[in-house]
Structure 1
Amino acid sequence: MIHKAWIPQIEQRLGLRLSELNGLEGANTLCQAMVSSIPFENLDVLSGVAINDETSHLYQKLILSCRGGVCFELNNLLFELLTHCGYRAYRVAARMFVEGELRDEANHIAIVIELDGCKYIADVGDARAMCQVIPMDGRLGFEHLGITHQIKPIGNDSYQLWLYDDNDDLPRYQFIDEPYQRIDFKDAIAFIEFDERSIFTKQWVVSILQGDTRIALSDEHIARTSSRGKTITPYHPSERSALLAELFGIIPD
């Protein structure tokens, strides 16, 4: 849970007032603030540091230390903030599509919000910087950076997140509308930390939303994506620490 003493630091980090968040607009405001303030990053996984999704640790790492994290960190913090603000929310486990193939086990967490009889997916733990919630009834969701988001019901309480742009239609992940507890993600966390199929143990994945541009750092380049297109800027590994600090506010340990 979110402790009262933490609220000033959380609000300063996110640039908002938690007490003012309510309804659909409040949920979108919180998602926008999180993907714009807290980067997605896998530095700990690359360094062999175990993921700790306990709320007190997330507060220390993501808020006080101005670090980022992977989905299990970012979306668990989102869940705690939503419930603190009075939202009805729960966690769901998702399987990612990789090169069109659906993973055979869950390796992602997303949050379901219930608002006025409707359900929405909130996900600030995706490196694509999903800055708004998406309705789960099949309606088209928000459009951002040239991509339109949609949750498709596919039967048996199962759903898929699809991404549409001018070039392609791609499924991002699939999930069952079934509440999970934080502890239920133990195996999913182990997957991204240790499984040979996990990209997070092999390459740098760091991203954040700055204005209307998503900035992403990989092993060899910086990608800047906006509605106007994408630019790629190579960098030398010796520049990485400075780029992490300059672009993402991350000071590696």
Structure 2
Amino acid sequence: MDIRGYLKRINFNDVVYTDLSTLESLQQQHVLNIPFETLDIHNHIPIILRVDSLYQKVILDRRGGYCYELNTLFHRLLSLCGFKVHMIAGRLLHGHGYGRDFEHMALIVELDGKKWLIDVGYGDFSLRPLAIAPGEVQRDGRTFYQIMEHINVDGHEYMGVAKWNDSKQAFKIEYIFTLTTRHLHEFAEMNHFHQTSRESHFARSLIVSLPIPDGRISMINNKLIRTVDGKKQVKQILNEDHRNEILEKYFHMDMVYLV
């Protein structure tokens, strides 16, 4: 992996130190410049969890990806930059229940005696690392988050990451996880499931999403949704050519690589 090419892709122009300030900047630049997207799943193009192919797709071909792709790449970048980082597995909240083990991948960085939750592959999530400090309210510059502990599901104990929900005036869990170190091959089965099963939200829906300075812009199936200061503007996507124009204009994707 070419570190310089990766840093250029996320518009990171500073010196890389193994400190919290650099970690925050790397995560924020990554999330702001590389979209969460499921176009390959929508187009029935297999997603192979190999760093070389992911690097070609996301960095060289200027695409995005979903959790397994983006967090795998970011894990490698952080490792090469000297950070102590490992993968963890999560289970997403679906209505009133939780999904399967290894349904989500996130990262833990150990720095200066503390552990930090890092996630560049969730979609609408924290722009900054979240300290593993249960009960502490943390802000990423846009909203509030909280790490919770002692969450018992199916006879196992998990931690959870919760995001502030304005309408309910409460924290809502996004996913649960453990701090156990995981390895890339352990996510292969769920990576296949997400691409092929009708039970998978990703297999049923085309999703592209990217934060913007005043909110977020997303493509969900045939709709373009721009959220600014909590207010949504929805436009209908007319056809495939219109979709391609939107991908180039708003998500900065070169459509040559999507054919």
Normalising by structure 2, we get a TM-score of: 0.89
Out of 223, 233, 242, the position equivalent to 2:245 is: 242
Quote how far apart the aligned CAs of 1:199 are: 1.1
Quote how far apart the aligned CAs of 1:142 are: 2.0
Q: Any conservation in 2 of the 1:96–1:174 contact (CA below 8 Å)?
A: yes
Judge which range, 226-235 or 28-37, deviates more: 226-235
Quote how far apart the aligned CAs of 1:18 are: 6.8
1:153-186 Cα deviation digits (max 9, x unpaired): 2267621011113213321111111000111111
2:171 paired with 1:175: no
1:62-119 Cα deviation digits (max 9, x unpaired): 1110011111000011101111111111000101011232113331100001111111
Q: Any conservation in 1 of the 2:102–2:190 contact (CA below 8 Å)?
A: yes
Q: Any conservation in 1 of the 2:215–2:230 contact (CA below 8 Å)?
A: no
The corresponding residue for 2:160 is 160
For residue 102 of structure 2, give the secondary structure of its aligned residue in structure 1.
coil
The corresponding residue for 2:77 is 81
The corresponding residue for 1:132 is 128
Quote how far apart the aligned CAs of 1:211 are: 2.0
For residue 47 of structure 2, give the secondary structure of its aligned residue in structure 1.
coil
Judge which range, 33-42 or 20-29, deviates more: 20-29
Aligned AA (1:182): L
The corresponding residue for 2:199 is 197
The corresponding residue for 1:118 is 114
Query: What count of residue pairs does the alignment treat as equivalent?
Result: 248
Aligned AA (2:71): N
Distance 1:96 1:21 in 2: 32
For residue 20 of structure 1, give the secondary structure of its aligned residue in structure 2.
coil
Aligned AA (1:148): F
Distance 1:19 1:186 in 2: 34
Distance 2:120 2:228 in 1: 18
Identity of aligned residues (%): 25
Q: Any conservation in 1 of the 2:137–2:144 contact (CA below 8 Å)?
A: yes
Distance 1:18 1:194 in 2: 40
Aligned AA (2:67): C
Distance 1:236 1:113 in 2: 43
Quote how far apart the aligned CAs of 1:48 are: 1.6
Q: Any conservation in 1 of the 2:9–2:33 contact (CA below 8 Å)?
A: yes
1:191-231 Cα deviation digits (max 9, x unpaired): 21122221111111101122232111111322222444333
2:33 paired with 1:37: yes
Mapping 1:6-85, distance limit 5 Å: 6-17=2-13, 19-85=15-81
Normalising by structure 1, we get a TM-score of: 0.91
For residue 58 of structure 1, give the secondary structure of its aligned residue in structure 2.
helix
For residue 133 of structure 2, give the secondary structure of its aligned residue in structure 1.
coil
Structure 1: runs of 5 or more not aligned? none
Distance 2:14 2:59 in 1: 14
Quote how far apart the aligned CAs of 1:7 are: 2.7
Quote how far apart the aligned CAs of 1:11 are: 2.2
Q: Any conservation in 1 of the 2:3–2:77 contact (CA below 8 Å)?
A: no
Structure 2: runs of 5 or more not aligned? none
